[in-house]
Structure 1
Amino acid sequence: MKKKKEQKKKLATVFLNTDAVSNRDYSHHDAWIKNEVIITSGESFYQEELDSIARGATIFVYANLIGVVAAGTVLDEHSVAVTDPNLLVSDESLEYQRKVSWFADIARNPVHYKIVKDLCGTPSRAVRSIVTNKDALRDLVAAHASDADIAAIEAKYAHNPTEARAWALTRLCQGKYRDDLLALWDDRCAVTGCSLLPVLRASHAIPWCSSSNAQRQDPNNGLPLVATLDALFDRGLIGFADDGMMLCSMAFTTADRQLLGAPANLRKTLNDAQKTYLRAHRERFPLLIP
């Protein structure tokens, strides 16, 4: 009796090289970021490479001789072949696209390719699984994203250095926002009830980089969460319904849910403003399911 062919496990943390041969050695990463997609093009092999990435995977976009320019979460199950000139992002007549929600746009402040090489090796293939130093790379990308936000603030408020410094401090420390957010939740994690302030993160439902100044400071636009839940919420692996029920991504496996005690609902009833912000978070991450 013939054995069934084992299904190849999809990749969960990967590099995608924007300068793959199929893209004629030209990096289209700015267009990728703008259109919220990742792309390969050329032979069907490159579509297979793109389809080897799991839904919910963390993707680090790498440009040759530049470094990591963006990071995001893959939202769909498989690629779509695109030939419509109005939808093409590259210069090719056929390309393969997958939808991504970016959590770090660091094209103006990339993690230098030499640092990436030292940490994880050079991502020479179109798609390459990241095996070593994944956490270190994530931390570097997060730091560069924060720096990029501060640079954007300084440019926006170049005419008013005092206001620029105030917003930069807000981005770094989330001072008043964090205090107001914690006050809404009795200085505890919105889910677990943990009261250890050093381990609580002031999460945003609409990301800081996408929020208006008012939204950045609105404590309804977020939840105080312990670090693990903050990371899951930020990546769209969990979200919350209007009734406070936690929703989990298909990429958040049953085994991992059990290890982390998920799903676990919010401790308090949401007000209308909180529901609106959390609804926007769910819409941003369509992979969420009950």
Structure 2
Amino acid sequence: MVGVTMVQSDAQVVPHPDEVLGSLLARRAWRAAHGTASFAKSMGLPWDVWCRDIDRSINVLFLNKVAEGLGIERECVRTMTVNTFLSKCGVPVQAIGFEPWITYVGLVRWKRIRYGQMYCCRCLDSPDRYLCRDWRISTNWLCPAHSLPLQDCCPECGKPFTPYRDDELVLARCGRCTTSLAGHDLQPVSDEELELHRHIQSIWNDARTGRPGPLCALYRHLSEVAVCDPRFALAGEHWSYWRTWERAALLRSQEGVIVRLASHPSRGALVWCGYSLACDLSARPKRRTASMPIDPQRRAQLLLDMARRVRWPRRSRARVSR
């Protein structure tokens, strides 16, 4: 209980409205002169807490311990996860597995092998630096406050950004080559990109106010384009796994569709195919499957034909750190 009292006595580190949970824990640990592992242990959290994607979702037991240790309300802790934001927008969420709209960090113990965590070099240059929730949403590729493109790795060595390891967030430097991640002179984005970002944000705002139709239509359209368009057909993975600049190119190529969905929300009001089926599955007649032939030769030939029709995804090493 000594660690809990020490944490609660620090009233200067308060959560920001758009901050994720791991960012608040890392900042509290730094202010309390603790390592992230020892700080989590002082609150009674398991040792593998930093091996989980706590910015995405947390369970009830973890939620209660964090709320008690940090001295804040449970609902405030719950809103600091990306899944809570998606559920408010009408997106079905789950604790583990694939989930649309979320960039993936590829957690392997403390290491992150994917480039899913984005950051703004100008935001990290401020004294009170923290991780924004929008830096895990796959439709974001720029910082509207500074009009700069978001980064997903170290500009010197190319290592993925791991904010909770080696104090990379609080120090704003790479844990491998100690290069500063803040204050770099980057080329600002164009006015057209800022306007496109505003249209995408209006689609998200419509979903949060109870009109998720345009968001569903956007997800379905982007998924179809990423598979069928020759410019993106060789990606081999869902577009949420792509690098930041690749997702930016995909969104820029579909500017016309995005503008139409943002300008006319009713166009996608009945399009739910991006997440689930519009009609009740129980009302549909069950699909009859053909039985396997008795002849072993014909059965083997049928299995070979089925295997030839399977399209195996191509996994590119360019999207995974070495």
TM-score, normalised by the number of residues in structure 2: 0.26
> Which of structures 1 and 2 has the bigger CA Rg?
2
TM-score, normalised by the number of residues in structure 1: 0.27
**More helix by percentage:** 2
